[in-house]
C-alpha cells in the first residue's frame, strides 16, 4: 500500500513538472512571437518613415531648383507641384504625396500689426463663409494683443468650429509671407480683391493659363492688395506611407529663405499624424 502511495506521489510530481515545463515552453514561444511581431512592426514603421522622408527630400530639391530657375512666379503648373503622387499600391503597402502652397492662405500673423487691409479681407471672408463678422474683430484684437501666436489652435476668441471652417483659408505664417494670388482659393480671391467680377475673370484666366501676372490684375480693373503677390516661400508637403500594415502620415512645412549668407530651403515644421497648424516651428538651424 505504501509503495502504491509513493508511486502516486511520484506520478503527480511528474505531471506537475511536465505542466510547468509546458508552460515555460509556451511562454518562451509566445515571447519569441511577440518579439518577432514587435521587430516586424518596427521595421515596417522605419520603412514607412523612410518613404515619407524621401518625399520630403524630393520636395526640398524641387523647391530649391525652382528658387533658382523661376523666382518670379509660383503656381501649380510648375515642376515643384509635380512632386505630388496619387495613392500608389506598392508590394508592401501604399504611398501618396500632396504638396500645397502654404501662402495660398491669408496670413493672420500680419494682423498683429493692426493691418487694416488684412482685417477687412478677413471680415469679407467671414461673410462669404456666413460667419459672424464679430468673430473677425475678436480674432484681430486677440492676435494684436497676443504677439507671437503661431497656431490656429491657440486662438481663444473664436470657437473650434469656426477655426475648422476658417482653416482652409487662413493660417499663421512668417510675418513677411504674402498671399499668393496664383494659388489662393477662388472664394479667398474674391474676398481680398473686394471685386467679385474681377475675381471671376482672374479665376478664368488662371484656369486657362495656370498663373496670373500683375498685368492680368490691372486688365480686369482690380487693385493688387498690399499683402498679395505671385510668389511663395512656404509650402506644406503631406506624405502617407503604409508598409506591412503600419501607416504613417508625415506633414512638413518647407520654407525657402534668402539671407546675406545665401539661399536655403529648410523644413521649418514637421508633424506626424496631426494638422500642421497644431505644432510649433522647429528651432532655427
> What CATH number should be reported for the domain holding residue 250?
3.30.1300.30
Question: Is the Cβ–Cβ distance between 230 and 213 less than 8 Å?
Answer: yes
- Residue 52, pLDDT score: 84
Strand partners, 251: 238, 271
Do residue 224 and residue 118 come from a single domain?
yes
Do residue 147 and residue 174 come from a single domain?
yes
- Residue 80, pLDDT score: 93
Do residue 125 and residue 152 come from a single domain?
yes
Positive or negative torsion for Cα 57, 100, 284, 276: negative
pTM, rounded to two decimals: 0.81
DSSP 198-261: HHHHHHHHHHHHS---HHHHHHTT----TTEES--SEEEEEEEEEETTEEEEEEEEEEEEEETT
**Which three three-digit cell numbers place residue 114?**
493692426
Q: What is the pLDDT of residues 85-123, one digit of tens each?
A: 777 776 667 878 899 999 999 999 988 876 788 889 999
**Is there a domain that residue 54 lies in?**
yes
**Is there a domain that residue 77 lies in?**
yes
- Residue 272, pLDDT score: 83
Q: Angle at Cα 197 formed by Cα 195 and Cα 201, nearest 5°? A: 115
**Is there a domain that residue 183 lies in?**
yes
Residue-number span of the structural domain to which 179 is assigned? 105-229
- Residue 255 main-chain phi, psi, to 5 deg: -120, 135
- Residue 208, pLDDT score: 95
Do residue 73 and residue 52 come from a single domain?
yes
**Is there a domain that residue 20 lies in?**
no
Place of cell 484656369: 207
Residue ranges for the chain with pLDDT beneath 50: 2
Do residue 184 and residue 196 come from a single domain?
yes
Do residue 93 and residue 134 come from a single domain?
no
- Residue 273, pLDDT score: 74
How many folded domains does the chain comprise? 2
Kindly calculate the radius of gyration of the chain based on its CA atoms and give it in whole angstroms.
29
**Is there a domain that residue 271 lies in?**
yes
CA–CA gap between residue 182 and residue 38 (Å, rounded): 47
**Is there a domain that residue 6 lies in?**
no
Do residue 179 and residue 204 come from a single domain?
yes
- Residue 276, pLDDT score: 58
**Is there a domain that residue 223 lies in?**
yes
Amino acid at each position: 500500500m505504501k509503495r502504491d502511495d509513493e508511486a502516486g506521489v511520484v506520478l503527480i510530481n511528474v505531471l506537475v513538472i511536465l505542466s510547468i515545463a509546458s508552460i515555460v515552453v509556451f511562454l518562451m514561444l509566445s515571447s519569441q512571437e511577440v518579439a518577432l511581431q514587435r521587430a516586424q512592426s518596427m521595421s515596417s514603421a522605419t520603412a514607412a518613415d523612410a518613404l515619407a522622408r524621401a518625399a520630403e527630400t524630393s520636395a526640398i530639391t524641387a523647391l530649391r531648383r525652382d528658387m533658382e530657375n523661376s523666382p518670379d512666379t509660383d503656381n501649380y503648373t510648375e515642376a515643384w507641384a509635380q512632386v505630388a503622387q496619387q495613392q500608389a499600391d506598392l508590394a508592401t503597402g501604399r504611398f501618396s504625396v500632396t504638396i500645397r502652397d502654404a501662402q495660398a492662405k491669408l496670413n493672420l500673423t500680419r494682423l498683429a500689426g493692426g493691418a487694416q487691409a488684412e482685417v477687412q479681407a478677413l471680415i469679407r471672408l467671414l461673410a462669404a463663409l456666413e460667419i459672424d463678422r464679430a468673430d473677425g474683430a475678436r480674432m484681430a484684437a486677440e492676435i494684436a494683443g497676443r504677439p507671437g501666436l503661431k497656431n490656429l489652435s491657440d486662438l481663444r476668441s473664436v470657437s473650434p468650429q469656426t477655426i475648422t471652417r476658417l482653416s482652409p483659408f487662413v493660417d499663421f505664417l512668417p510675418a513677411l509671407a504674402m498671399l499668393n494670388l496664383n494659388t489662393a482659393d477662388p472664394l479667398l480671391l474674391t474676398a481680398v480683391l473686394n471685386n467679385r467680377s474681377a475675381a471671376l475673370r482672374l479665376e478664368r484666366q488662371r484656369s486657362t493659363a495656370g498663373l496670373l501676372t500683375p498685368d492680368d490684375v490691372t486688365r480686369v480693373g482690380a487693385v493688387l492688395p498690399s499683402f498679395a503677390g505671385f510668389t511663395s516661400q512656404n509650402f506644406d508637403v503631406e506624405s502617407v506611407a503604409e508598409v506591412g500594415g503600419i501607416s504613417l502620415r508625415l506633414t512638413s512645412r518647407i520654407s525657402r529663405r534668402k539671407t546675406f549668407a545665401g539661399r536655403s530651403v529648410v523644413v521649418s515644421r514637421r508633424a506626424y499624424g496631426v494638422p500642421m497648424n497644431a505644432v510649433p516651428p522647429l528651432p532655427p538651424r
